[in-house]
Amino acid sequence: MQENVQQQGWRTYLYDAEQPYTPVASVTGKGESRQVWYYHTDVTGTPQEVTAADGTLVWAGYIRGFGENAADISNSGAYFHQPLRLPGQYFDDETGLHYNLFRYYAPECGRFVSQDPIGLKGGINLYQYAPNPLSWIDPLGLTTEEITLKPGEILVNPKDVNFSQTTINSAFDTPDGKRSVQSVINDVRKGNIKATDFPAIKVVNVKGQLVVRDGNSRLAIAVKGKAQQIKVILETNVDQLRDFTKRLRDNGLPNTGTSKTPTCK
C-alpha cells in the first residue's frame, strides 16, 4: 500500500500481495465521496487501463516500449491523473522523468539520468534500464531481472493458467537431482530459484483459458512460490492434444481444467 497527494487529493495505492510492483487499485476521497479505481496491467505490471467500480473506462495509456506514455485516453468526462509507469516508476510532472526510487529514469531515451548506485553489480552499462522491457523489470533502479525466451515462448502470470491434474509427484527433477516440491517452493519464495528459469510449460488454449498440457509440477511450484511470471508455449501437436483431452476426462476435470493447486502424492 502507498499513499500520496495529487491534484485530486489523497490517493492510496493497493498492490498485488504476490506481485508487489503490480498495482491493483487506488482509493480517493473519504466517507461518501470515497471512490475505488481498478488497474489493469500487462504481464510486467505496467498499467494499461483504469476503470471505475462500475467498469467504466476512466484512463487508458499508450505506453511505448521503454515506458514513455505517448497518449492518455479518458472516457470519464473528467481528467484522471495516472502517474504510474513501468514497474516501480512514478511520473514526475515537473521534470517529465520517472522516479524509480534510487534514481530517475528518462523514458524518451530509455536510460537513467544517473549512474547505477550499486556500480557494475547492476551490469556494465551504468545507465541502462533493460535490454527488453517486455521480459525484464528494474523496479528499484538498481539491477534488472533477465528472462530469456526461446521462439514461441511467452510470459504469463501463473494464476492465469489452470491445472490438468489434481495430484502431482512430491519429488521434483532439478539439475542437481530430485528434490521435494516443497523445498523448491521455499527456494522460489526466497528468491534462490526463479520460476522463469524452469523449462517453458506446455499449455493448451481452451476457449481463452490456458490449461497445462505438460508441467503441472512447475506451475504448482510457481503458484505456491508466489512467482510473478512463468514461461509457457502453446501445444500444437495433434496427438498430444488428444492425450490432453483424455487426461482431463480421466481426472474428472472439465476441458478448462482447474484453478485448484494439485496436492502432492
78 in a structural domain: yes
Residue 116 sits in the same domain as residue 172 = no
Residue 6 sits in the same domain as residue 100 = yes
130 in a structural domain: no
The reported pLDDT for the residue numbered 75 is 62
What is the Cα–Cα distance from 138 to 21, expressed in whole angstroms? 10
Give me the tens of pLDDT residue by residue for the chain, a chain 265 residues long: 544 545 556 889 999 877 778 899 999 988 888 999 999 998 888 999 999 999 999 999 888 878 888 877 766 556 688 999 998 899 998 999 999 888 999 998 999 999 888 777 666 788 888 767 766 777 777 665 556 678 888 888 899 999 999 999 999 988 888 999 999 999 999 888 889 889 999 999 998 899 999 999 999 999 999 988 889 998 888 888 888 988 899 999 999 999 999 999 8
Residue 80 sits in the same domain as residue 28 = yes
Residue 17 sits in the same domain as residue 110 = yes
Residue closest to 199 by CA, chosen among 261, 152, 245: 152
Residue 31 sits in the same domain as residue 93 = yes
Q: Which three cell numbers stand for residue 76?
A: 470519464
Question: Are 165 and 201 spatial neighbours (Cβ–Cβ below 8 Å)?
Answer: no
Residue 116 sits in the same domain as residue 168 = no
Q: Where does 44-140 have alpha helices with state H?
A: none
Rounding to the nearest 10 degrees, give the CA dihedral for residues 65, 68, 74, 80.
Answer: 130
Question: What are the angstrom distances between the C-alpha of 166 and each of 59, 188, 204?
Answer: 40, 22, 17
**Which CATH number do you get for residue 217?**
3.90.1530
114 in a structural domain: yes
Question: What are the angstrom distances between the C-alpha of 238 and each of 136, 142, 154, 241?
Answer: 33, 45, 21, 5
Residue 19 sits in the same domain as residue 99 = yes
142 in a structural domain: no
178 in a structural domain: yes
> How many residues are given for the chain?
265
DSSP string, 124-183: S-TTB--S-TTT---TTSS--------TTEEEE-GGGEEBS-SEE-SEEEETTEEEEHHH
Residue closest to 91 by CA, chosen among 81, 99, 79: 99
147 in a structural domain: no
Total number of domains constituting the chain: 2
128 in a structural domain: no
Residue 174 sits in the same domain as residue 227 = yes
The reported pLDDT for the residue numbered 4 is 55
131 in a structural domain: no
Q: Residue 97 CB: number of other CB atoms within 10 A? A: 19
Residue 115 sits in the same domain as residue 157 = no
Instruction: Tell me, rounded to whole angstroms, the distance of Cα 66 from its chain centroid.
Output: 16
User: Which of 122, 139, 169 is where one domain is finished?
Assistant: 122
Residue closest to 119 by CA, chosen among 142, 89, 144, 101: 142
Residue 191 sits in the same domain as residue 79 = no
Question: Are 45 and 87 spatial neighbours (Cβ–Cβ below 8 Å)?
Answer: yes
Residue 97 sits in the same domain as residue 157 = no
Question: What are the angstrom distances between the C-alpha of 43 and each of 64, 92, 245?
Answer: 15, 24, 28
What is the Cα–Cα distance from 156 to 184, expressed in whole angstroms? 20
- Residue 159: which domain range? 153-259
